[in-house]
Amino acid sequence: MERLLAVVTGGTRGIGRGVAKKLLDEGYDVLVAGTQPESKADEIVAPLLEDGPPGRCEYAKCDISVKDDRDELLSYVSSEFGRLDVLVNNAGVAPVVREDILVMKPESMDRLLDINLKGTFFMCQEAANLMLKLGPSGELKQRIINISSISAYASSTIRGEYCISKAGISMVTKLFADRLAEEGILVFEVRPGIILTDMTAAAKEKYDKLIDEGLTPIRRMGRPGDVADMVYAACTGLLDFTTGQVLNADGGFHLRRF
């Protein structure tokens, strides 16, 4: 059986790296996309292939907010792999400086919407068109999995632009799930909670205290592997009688509790 191909954007660190490793270990070929220079390809790919079954893993430089980069990435997928089974839209950024929404700069809003929201939207659009052109590999449906955040619905007034960008991803997921269902392409949203990565490491003590005090029913920070497991669950085919579904990788944060 031929190996399926997954493209993981923002796959060089944190959650994206965890997703890439999980899919490789589960038998996928993986094309990792990120903004690191091509000269670092071996440094990025080699650790992903360690301690796992043999597989094909490559790195491609791509800023998802730049159309030429998206076009080049998907052109490479088409010419070198001839298939696209899974797109994991994980690439995203946080504000450079956290500022109250009363003083947040337009430049910060533009940056986050260009990358997190517009970049994700157009990756969905362009990848969906390529999926339709190439067709599915065997009986398994093609799928798009967007990584959002609990910030899609939980207010953080010093990161307003981030919350808005992630809330937008939720609607992007609904729109493409609706449009692509008749084409046989499924779309999911995985919504991480407080995940221990290099982006949250500086605030670990704060989050540990909040969690110990009951912020989440499952009292620990999440790990990239927890999110990767949700992504893989959406890839297995066991969720194929739903689309547009939100998978909460959040320790139960989404529960409304007394």
Catalytic residue among 28, 59, 153, 162: 162
> Among 183, 192, 193, 153, which residue's Cα sits nearest to residue 243?
183
Secondary structure E strands in 62-110: 86-89
* Residue 232 known to be catalytic: no
How far lies 219's CA from each of 74, 226, 252, 257, in Å?
A: 40, 14, 9, 15
Beta strand 57-61 with 86-89: parallel, antiparallel or unpaired? unpaired
DSSP secondary structure string, 212-234? Answer: HTTSSSS-S-B-HHHHHHHHHHH
133 Cβ contact partners less than 8 Å away, ≥ 6 residues apart: 78
> Element (H or E) spanning 88, and its range?
strand 86-89
Beta-bridge mates of residue 58: 31
> Element (H or E) spanning 22, and its range?
helix 14-25
Contact 41, 49 (CB under 8 A): no
**Residue 36, helix vs strand vs coil:** coil
Task: Write out the two tokens for 159.
Answer: 């990161």
Q: What is the distance of C-alpha 67 from the center of its chain?
A: 18
Catalytic residues: 162
